[in-house]
Structure 1
Amino acid sequence: MVKIEKASWAFKALNGIICVYKPPCVPVRRVQHTIITNICRDLNALPQGPQEQRVEIVGATNAPMTVKVVPNYADDILVSGPRFIQDDFKCSWATHLGLFSSGVLLLGINDGTKLTHTINAARPTRAFKVHGQLGKATDTYFWNGRTIERATFGHVTREKIDRIVAYMQAAHQKTMYDLSGLHMESQTMYELASQGVIRPANNKLPVLYGIKCVHFDPPNFTLEVQSVNEYDKYLWTLIHDLGVQLKTSAHCTGVQCIRQGKFDLELALLRKHWQLEHIIDNLNRCQELLDGNENLLKPKSAHLSL
């Protein structure tokens, strides 16, 4: 990790993308505010530049006057206030995470805000671990909703879940090809599929590319979902629909984003590491990842006009 000695050098280095781990029940704007506040705190704690001097001429005007250099109190931190404040920084996110969701969150700092816009337009796939619980349904499909139904779940097995999620994945993929208006066995469809992952032109249409059960311990289970344009309530609904198809009830207990494009949990900064040195180090690592993977900003994929 680079040791920072001057605040001016650190300020110039704060341009790019960082990958942080958003805790559950913490709004994205709170994450932004905390990171910028910590950056300002750490920058102000570093050695600052020398205090400005001013020339002062003293003495009677009818006699030789004395010229001397004295400290400029207008440049004193006790007068001017902290050198760095929150208004000195810009911060934006690439793809939003809901209040109750946790996991990988990409933030752009200063010039990095342009990269977040580019990443959002490219819509890289995101991977989620969606945790569910059998036996109860709520009005919001999430654990904090009002219970509206209870059901037994003793008949549910891992094999049944695997079979249904495989059917759900196939149905979503078939829908994508159907929306293209092309025949499944045509040459045009083959060329479209060979271009890469098919992404919808409409950025408000959720598309699931993969669903599988990675943990099953009744009544709790976990699905791993790969998708684009998804949002938290859509993933909650996925758990509810799975419960219906299993002839029982289910609700979501948690959503965790484990990957966005090439950015995964190993790269994400935990809350205790939201400090200047760790942030600058993470900026450099993220930039190396972007330089080595040009398709993150311009993915090779086919887009459907919906």
Structure 2
Amino acid sequence: MATPAIRTFRRLEGLFCVYKPPGVHWKLVRDSVETSLLKGVNTTPSRPLPREIRFLPLQGNETGTAKEITVSAASVPVLSKHPLVTGPEFQNIKVGVGHHLDAFSSGVLVLGVGNGNKALNNLHQTRVTRDYTLEGEFGTATDDFSHKGRVVETTTYDHITQEKLDKVLAMLQGANQKALLMYSRVDMRSQEAYEMAVQGLLGPEGKSLPILTDIRCIHFQPPSFTLEVQCLNETQKYLRKIVHEIGLELRSTAVCKGVRRTRDGCFTLQDALTRNHWTATDIMGAIQQYHATKKNKKKSSHSKNMDSRLQLEGFKITTNEENATNQGEAVHTIK
């Protein structure tokens, strides 16, 4: 029979996401979550201690120099099963980490507990896109493309307008769209490619170079600007380099002042747990919400498939009836 701690752990199995603050390594975030989960699981009220029958001596009346000892049966708890003797029931809880964020980035970080680690592997194998918000600044170039690096060049930026920036972004997105089609390994003239494009499944097979599926400017106030990026197989260093290359295309320089992930697959900032909510109770609620969302998606996809099948069957029946009618008219005409 499962103990209360084991039942609590089973309710914690699944995927959830937390908000990683900037300046913190993802390993520290994972360790903090593991410690919080261990504390929450091990503090679950345990079952009463099992009891056993023991014969305890009772001291009787003294007769001369001898002592009479009587024995009585008593039910006593088994102290060898006490938590202070056995220690905590869970010594370690493995928490898996999804697509990593470096120390200087922030945003959505997907984690998995228990069988959620398998779901993390499946999430990596699927073509899920991630959204980022990049904050840039014109006029400076550094050795690591961030504002904290060593400055190697300073330039002017008065000639840069939002129209010029949008043209560079459109050119960059077009080049990445060609790369997306090249790495997809699907014949673009086939029905399969059309269906994959409609469902948003068109993408590279396995690992490939980073690909930007969408990029646009959402804020422009020189020297500061903000980009919204949707990408595949990216790293945060690559995104900072993109900001640097945009500055070069505009005949200036630019550095990246911040990288924030706003979406990782189906997880968004609204789903991310902040530092004050990295507790077993809040994580359990987030995982239950993930399971509920997953079930709803399966039901909706199943209903869509059923509707398409019914429409196809109805089309076949109508076609057969029309063919039968046409054949009957043709026979009547021949007669």
TM-score range, shorter chain: 0.7 to 0.9
Is the aligned partner of 1:103 residue 2:107?
Answer: yes
Look up the match of 1:66.
72
Look up the match of 2:33.
35
TM-score by length of 1: 0.85
TM-score by length of 2: 0.78
Q: Could you tell me how far 1:99 is from its partner in structure 2?
A: 2.0
What is the correspondence of 1:14-163 to structure 2 with a 5 Å cutoff?
Answer: 14-59=12-57, 65-85=71-91, 87=92, 89-163=93-167
**Contact 1:123–1:229 (Cα < 8 Å) also in 2:** no
Look up the match of 1:3.
none
Residue 262 to residue 182, structure 1, CA distance change in 2 (3 Å): closer
Which deviates more from structure 2 when the two are superposed, residues 278-287 or residues 91-100?
91-100
The structure with the greater share of residues assigned to helix is 2
Bigger Rg over Cα:
2
**Contact 2:179–2:211 (Cα < 8 Å) also in 1:** no
Percent identical pairs in the alignment equals 35
SS of match in other structure, 2:180: helix
CA distance in 2, matches of 1:177, 1:82: 53
Look up the match of 1:273.
277
Greater relative contact order: 1 or 2 (C-alpha under 8 angstroms, separation 6 or more)? Answer: 1
Q: Could you tell me how far 1:78 is from its partner in structure 2?
A: 2.8
Residue 32 to residue 179, structure 1, CA distance change in 2 (3 Å): closer
Q: Could you tell me how far 1:51 is from its partner in structure 2?
A: 2.4
CA distance in 2, matches of 1:121, 1:67: 64
Offset from partner CA, 1:271-296 (integer Å, 9 cap, x none): 1111111111100111122223359x
**Contact 1:206–1:229 (Cα < 8 Å) also in 2:** yes
2:20 partner letter? K
- RMSD of the alignment, in Å? 2.4
2:270 partner letter? E
SS of match in other structure, 1:104: strand
**Contact 1:19–1:286 (Cα < 8 Å) also in 2:** no
Residue 180 to residue 92, structure 1, CA distance change in 2 (3 Å): closer
Q: Could you tell me how far 1:263 is from its partner in structure 2?
A: 1.4
Q: Could you tell me how far 1:238 is from its partner in structure 2?
A: 0.3
CA distance in 1, matches of 2:122, 2:297: 14
**Contact 1:211–1:226 (Cα < 8 Å) also in 2:** yes
